Amino acid sequence: RVRQPGNTTFPAITFADSDSLLVGDLVLAIGNPFGVGQTVTSGIVSALARTGVEATDYEFFIQTDAAINPGNSGGALVDLEGNLVGINTAIYSRSGGSVGIGFAIPSNMARLVADAGVTGGEIVRPWFGAKMQAVTSDIAQSLGMPAPYGAMITEVAPGGPAEKAGFRSGDVILSLDGLRIEDPSAFNFRLATRAIGSVTALERLRIGTTETINFTVETAPPAAEGAIASIAPHANSRFAGATVRELDPALSEQKGLAYDARGVIVTAVEPGSPAEAMGLRVDDIILALNEIEIGTARTFSEVASQRVRTWQLILQRDGRVNRFIVSG
């Protein structure tokens, strides 16, 4: 949380609506490149909605040719009125210096983080509850679309917000609040900037018919009661120090699993605990212990608390199912 300044007043920058940016707009990048001191460089917005820059779920960067170098990260990207349009964050370079390809986080996303810092609240991201893919040229042609764009739903989470709003596999989301959606990354970003509980208008294409759906933005539900189990670090168990949680559709989507994935996922391992010594890792999915299928946190707790001579574990780790045998 940002500390209260007391009676001190600081100058503050005004957030601009980054959705109003256009390719070709003039911008200024402010920072401290290579530690030489505060520096301002100028350029234009080269592109919008750039993806493939970093491995995140919310890739949607502003690309600029304003010189951005090491030391500029975290600096402001402003328009000619001095309003914040982005936060400088990355460059594409083989030498380490600027070659005119820099990237900034849009101000609409930065505002969410800033607001959370002021209020001390947690950053809670919306959950749509569906997996999507980009619309290719072939898909667009088969659907009668004039051009390939949008986010096509490939799978809907049972009981999730998308299913409750009437979305189903094969639907294509074309726009959000009138803003065109180019691909799933654009949709994830646009939705992430909407407040929980707000209503957003989603334009949907289904079997050649376009309609607008009023969608209430929701967050992923918390773990159900009894869905988390922990073995105390000093318990007489090889699993002492491990915490697991039952998989649900929201958690499965977050971890890149199928919505109906089974097992319990390891969410924490205490350093120096028997669980760590055994080799258990965070994000391991425990499928079975000694031939007993582990489908709930309660079953894990009951089985893992037993004293046996040998443990046979079936784990899913990094997408692969492995069998381990360790002493009891």
Domains of the chain, by residue range, sit at 18-119, 130-216, 228-327
β pairing state of 310-317 and 209-216: unpaired
- Residue 283 and residue 299: Cα distance in Å, rounded? 18
Q: What pLDDT, on a 0 to 100 scale, did the predictor assign at position 56?
A: 56
Q: What pLDDT, on a 0 to 100 scale, did the predictor assign at position 71?
A: 78
CATH number of 18-119: 2.40.10.10
* CA neighbor of 63 nearest in space, from 84, 95, 92: 92
Q: What pLDDT, on a 0 to 100 scale, did the predictor assign at position 69?
A: 80
Q: What pLDDT, on a 0 to 100 scale, did the predictor assign at position 98?
A: 65
Q: What pLDDT, on a 0 to 100 scale, did the predictor assign at position 264?
A: 96
pTM: 0.76
- Residue 42 and residue 29: Cα distance in Å, rounded? 6
Burial of 162 (C-beta count, 10 Å sphere; 0-12/13-18/19+): buried
Give the tokens for residue 171.
Answer: 């639907």
Give the tokens for residue 150.
Answer: 């949008």
Q: What pLDDT, on a 0 to 100 scale, did the predictor assign at position 167?
A: 97
- Residue 54 and residue 41: Cα distance in Å, rounded? 23
Burial of 209 (C-beta count, 10 Å sphere; 0-12/13-18/19+): exposed
Q: What pLDDT, on a 0 to 100 scale, did the predictor assign at position 143?
A: 93
86 C-beta neighbours (distance < 10 Å), count:
28
CATH number of 130-216: 2.30.42.10
Q: What pLDDT, on a 0 to 100 scale, did the predictor assign at position 178?
A: 92
- Residue 22 and residue 14: Cα distance in Å, rounded? 19
Domain 130-216 shares a fold with domain 228-327: yes
Mean pLDDT by 10 residues, the chain (328 residues): 72 87 91 82 86 62 86 87 90 68 87 72 84 95 93 96 96 94 89 90 94 95 92 91 96 93 95 93 96 95 91 93 88
- Specify the CATH number for 228-327; select among 1.20.140.10, 3.40.1010.20, 3.30.43.10, 2.30.42.10: 2.30.42.10
Give the tokens for residue 202.
Answer: 């989603």
